[in-house]
Chains A and B, each alone.
Chain A
Amino acid sequence: MAEYFTLLVGAVLINNFVLTKFLGLCIFFGISKNLSASVGMGMAVTSVMTMSSILAWIVYFFVLAPFHLEFLTTIVFVVLTASFVQLLELVIKKQAPALYNMWGIYLLLIATNCIVLAVPILNVENEYSLLKSIVFAIGSGVGFALALILMASLREKLQYADVPKPLEGIGIAFILAGMLSLAFLGFSGMM
């Protein structure tokens, strides 16, 4: 039990994908202008990552590993995550229109995102069990959502600040992200 807890906390805070591993940065800067969009995006990424991790785990351990084709992991996972996102979009558009209105538009944005690809790859590289993969994927998703929401809250406040002209917009966002990342480095000694 403690093992899973450490894995979860580790994925959320210590090895936060955005702020310590620098993955998923394009969404991080693209979406974080607006708090409600960030919440939607965080939910979409977490659910997609969890489900595609399960699929990827099955494909890896039942197809790739028995045939010793581990070197094909990346390309197979790209196909897998991209088509899975498409599938998910089709399904929720029909079955749950309310959910689709809430975060459907973010699904296509994450179809080929590095963070969605990185989690399944890290899962199989570390040879996690299926349950551990799920815990790790959820933790990573929550960590991503946390970073996104923190950043969006800061940037919403920033709209009322007197930012020097050359730094307006994405410039000050980079500086903010750097400071957030520094703050998250503080967690690195925890385990």
Chain B
Amino acid sequence: MNTPFMIVAVLVGVGAFFGLVLALANKKFAMETNPLIEEVEDILPKGQCGACGYAGCQKYAEAVVEDPDVPPNLCVPGKAAVAEQVAKLTGKHAEAAEPMYAHINCRGGDACRNKAEYEGVADCAAAKLVMGGGKACKYGCIGFGNCVKACHFHALSMGENGLPVVNTKLCTGCGACAKTCPQNIISLVSFESKVEVACSSHDKGATARKACGNACIGCGMCMRNCPHQAIKIENNLAVVDSTICRAKCAQPDCILKCPTKAIRELIV
């Protein structure tokens, strides 16, 4: 007779007890969270790429709201629009970051000779551990596409010649590929840049040429043909000072003179 009443009583009792405890705990252990953090997080692109240096978009939102020293323009994929909005919300001054994209400093691929047959895990980092991979050039692209896997925005793909290709329309310049590349041959270049050296080999000319048809052999033709002294040869490799190059050069002669076409004009 008593049972239905007891069921209700016990369930209500247990439920009310835990409800009460939770409500009290919620009061006692309340954490103040800044509603601004959520607003800032909503603006961020949520690629969770980590280019800002934080563990994810939420962590960056927390940092930018709570720490006055964290600048609002750290979100690379968001570009100027996001930086502006974040700056507005947090009351900080935004300086727009220059838009960048990833550039592969290697034109080896199939033009680069194989010194050995690599048969193992199809992973650049793994291949590098085994005598630096199968390519004859120890500086160049290994070609297993770790950068393609690392890209959060599907901007990279493996091209037909065994080299990764950057889709500059999709690339946000977050640098995730540059961080993952075991050869360190991906750099971020500005959309304003005109000329880049697409080779990373520090080998002497003859060695570099033997390994790869597209290598920079450090001959200095580009340096001699640059009227603005924007190019230097450092350690057998041409290096372009892009600030000089961008400011002064209208007609890049260097790319025409390069015997191996290792230096090239950027077409975006």
Do these two chains interact? yes
Tell me, in angstroms, the Cα distance from A86 to B19 when the chains sit together.
Answer: 11
From B10, B18, B29, B123, A67 is in contact (CB under 8 Å) with B10
Question: Cβ of B25 < 8 Å from any Cβ of A?
Answer: yes
Q: Does B7 contact A (CB under 8 A)?
A: yes
Say yes or no: is B121 at the interface (Cβ < 8 Å to chain A): yes
Q: Cβ of A84: which chain B residues have Cβ within 8 Å of it?
A: 18
- B6 contacts A by Cβ under 8 Å: yes
Q: Is A126 an interface residue (CB 8 A)?
A: no
Within the complex, the shortest CB–CB distance from B100 to chain A, in Å, comes to 30
Q: Name A93's contact: one of B3, B14, B19, B31 (CB within 8 Å).
A: B31
Q: How far is the CB of A76 from chain B (nearest CB, A)?
A: 5
| Distance in angstroms between the alpha carbons of A91 and B25 in the assembled complex | 7
> Are B126 and A76 interface neighbours, CB within 8 A?
no
The digit string for A63-105, where 1 denotes a CB below 8 A from any CB of B, is: 1100111001001100110011011001101110000000000
Chain B residues, CB < 8 A from A59: 14
Count contacts between A and B, CB distance < 8 Å: 50
- Tell me the minimal C-beta distance from B90 to chain A in angstroms: 23
B1-38 interface bits toward A, Cβ cutoff 8 Å, 1 = contact, 0 = none: 00100110011011100110110011001110000000
Tell whether, in the assembled complex, residue B10 and residue A72 are in contact, meaning their CB atoms are under 8 Å apart. Answer: yes
Contact residues in B for A63 (Cβ distance below 8 Å):
10, 13-14
Question: What residues of B have a CB within 8 angstroms of the CB of A64 in the complex?
Answer: 10
The residue in chain A whose Cβ has the minimal distance to the Cβ of B18 is A83
Decide if the interface of chain A is mainly helix, strand, loop or mixed: helix
Distance in angstroms between the alpha carbons of A83 and B22 in the assembled complex: 7
Nearest chain B residue, comparing its CB with the CB of A84:
B18
B11-A75 in contact (CB<8A): yes
User: Are A94 and B31 in contact, with the CB atoms below 8 A?
Assistant: yes
What mask results when residues 39 to 59 of chain B are scored 1 for a CB within 8 Å of chain A, else 0?
000000000000000000000
Contacts of B25 in A (CB 8 A): 87, 90-91
A29 to B82, CA, bound (A): 37
Q: Is the CB of B14 within 8 A of A76?
A: yes
Q: In this complex, what residue of A is CB-closest to B120?
A: A160
Contacting residues, chain A, for B126 (C-beta < 8 A): 160
Q: Which residues of the partner chain B approach A86 to less than 8 Å between Cβ atoms?
A: 22
Residues of chain A touching chain B, judged by Cβ–Cβ distance below 8 Å, are 59, 63-64, 67-69, 72, 75-76, 79-80, 83-84, 86-87, 90-91, 93-95, 160, 162
Q: Would you give 15 A-B contacts (Cβ < 8 Å), ordered by A?
A: A63-B10, A68-B3, A69-B7, A72-B11, A76-B10, A76-B11, A79-B14, A79-B15, A83-B19, A83-B21, A87-B18, A87-B25, A90-B26, A90-B29, A160-B123
